[in-house]
Amino acid sequence: MKLHEIADKLELEKLTPVFDKEVTGVYISDMVSDVIANAKAGNLLVTVQVHANALAAANLVDVCGIVVAQGKRPADDVVRMAVKAEISVFATELSRWQVATKLYEAGLR
Amino acid sequence: MSNEARTPRYELADVQPGYVIIEREMYSKAARSYFSTEPVPPKEPYREGSQVWSFWEMAQSFRFAVRDNTTGEVVKFDELLGLLYYASCDPDSDLYRIGELALENRIFIYVAITYEAPDGSRLNISMDKLAILNRAFNQRLRTAEKKILILPDYFGLYNEMSYGQVMLDFGLTAMEEKAASPSKEGAR
């Protein structure tokens, strides 16, 4: 499933252009170290973490995009970093649990 | 056979969750850090010669090794405090400028920051080990043309950086926009 399809289905707010990539799975974490150790390339990262280091970790492991849940919003400089790394960042008022549920309903496993 | 179906050559192994403990010297305000698996750091100040060190802050992190599945060799990276992404540095710094140049070729630069040695210098990470680390992280990538380049700290960043710039989890989840941590200014 492509990133833009997920963004449309979940009605995610686009904070960056959509760099459309295939989504291979989902990883939910708010810890930089956990993302580095366990997330896989192509995963969609669901988080409430908005620190620049989260973007740095997401880029290191090559996640396909980031969904920032619970109404959190990264600072403008973090969004600019994401654009340079061609990582799509989305925002939503949904909780991480609600995002996970909707991603499952959308067909992601 | 797809890439996903093959066993990757390199894998993170022996991943050990723990904490980076940061201490500060009472008089000089120098800072230093070490890895601990204990969730409760020593809170009592202690003396080393004329210096008095005490707990300052801690960040969740992990220690790991890399296993080469073709040879079975496991290489530990216990000296590695963390990685620092070039874009987290001052835009006027050499590293940032080099990082921007590299980015034009889809190369993303990170710097390996090591722990402090007891004498205040930095622990060494060999070029052979950095090569393994680079191979391990690049092998995980899916995006075409993208490369990760992890460099040794040729820039002396450890003298200027704050621990908050290194990819660590301050507090429980470090959800603040800028992680507060002691600056290394005047540390040495």
pLDDT tens digits, residue range B50-65? Answer: 999 999 888 889 999 9
Chain B residues with CB inside 8 Å of A51's CB? 174-179
The per-residue pLDDT for B165 is 86
* pLDDT band, very low/low/confident/very high, at B178 (cuts 50, 70, 90): very low
Inter-chain touch A60–B143, beta carbons under 8 Å: no
Of A30, A41, A75, the CB nearest to B142: A41
The per-residue pLDDT for B120 is 77
pLDDT at B174 > cutoff 50 = no
Report the distance separating Cα A103 and Cα B29, nearest Å.
48
The whole-angstrom distance between A109's CA and the closest CA on chain B is 16
* pLDDT band, very low/low/confident/very high, at B181 (cuts 50, 70, 90): very low
> Nearest to residue A48, comparing CAs of B177, B170, B58?
B177
Inter-chain touch A49–B173, beta carbons under 8 Å: yes
For residues B125-148, give the mean pLDDT. 96
pLDDT at B167 > cutoff 70 = yes
Non-local CB neighbours of A96 within 8 Å, separated by 6+ positions: A28, A46, A47, A48, A69, A70
Non-local CB neighbours of B152 within 8 Å, separated by 6+ positions: B111, B112, B125, B127, B130
pLDDT at B83 > cutoff 70 = yes
The residue with tokens 């010297």 is B25
Percent with pLDDT over 90 in chain B: 61
> Nearest to residue B64, comparing CAs of B39, B81, B48, B47?
B81
Non-local CB neighbours of B149 within 8 Å, separated by 6+ positions: B102, B107, B108, B109, B110, B134
B25, B51 contact by CB (below 8 A): yes
Inter-chain touch A85–B108, beta carbons under 8 Å: yes
Residues in chain B: 188
Rounded (10°) angle between helices A76-84 and A52-61: 10
For B178, list phi and psi in degrees, rounded to 5. -125, 115
The per-residue pLDDT for B171 is 62
Out of A3-12, A18-27, B23-32, B72-81, pick the least confident. B23-32
Q: What is the ipTM of this complex?
A: 0.94
Q: Which residue has the higher pLDDT, B16 or B120?
A: B16
The whole-angstrom distance between B22's CA and the closest CA on chain A is 17
Please indicate if any CB of chain B lies within 8 Å of the CB of A70.
no
Of B62, B87, B176, the CB nearest to A81: B87
Inter-chain touch A61–B140, beta carbons under 8 Å: yes
The per-residue pLDDT for B97 is 97
Report the distance separating Cα B162 and Cα B173, nearest Å.
17
pLDDT at B73 > cutoff 80 = yes
Of B17, B169, B177, the CB nearest to A50: B177
- Order the strands of the B80-85 sheet from edge to edge: B80-85, B107-114, B147-151
* pLDDT band, very low/low/confident/very high, at A70 (cuts 50, 70, 90): very high
Chain B residues with CB inside 8 Å of A48's CB? 173, 175
* pLDDT band, very low/low/confident/very high, at B118 (cuts 50, 70, 90): confident
B116, B20 contact by CB (below 8 A): no
The per-residue pLDDT for B160 is 80
Q: Which of A91-95, B30-34, B56-60, B159-163 has the highest mean pLDDT?
A: A91-95
Percent with pLDDT over 70 in chain A: 100
**pTM of the full structure:** 0.89
For residues B118-136, give the mean pLDDT. 92
Size of interface A-B (CB pairs under 8 A): 88
Average pLDDT for chain B: 86
Inter-chain touch A60–B103, beta carbons under 8 Å: no
The per-residue pLDDT for A40 is 95
Report the distance separating Cα B107 and Cα B32, nearest Å.
31
pLDDT at A27 > cutoff 50 = yes
pLDDT at A47 > cutoff 80 = yes
Report the distance separating Cα A42 and Cα A25, nearest Å.
7
B138, B159 contact by CB (below 8 A): no
pLDDT at B38 > cutoff 60 = yes
Q: How many CB atoms are closer than 10 A to CB A5?
A: 13
For B140, list phi and psi in degrees, rounded to 5. -80, -15
Give the residue from chain A lying closest to B20, CA to CA.
Answer: A33
Percent with pLDDT over 90 in chain A: 96
Inter-chain touch B176–A51, beta carbons under 8 Å: yes
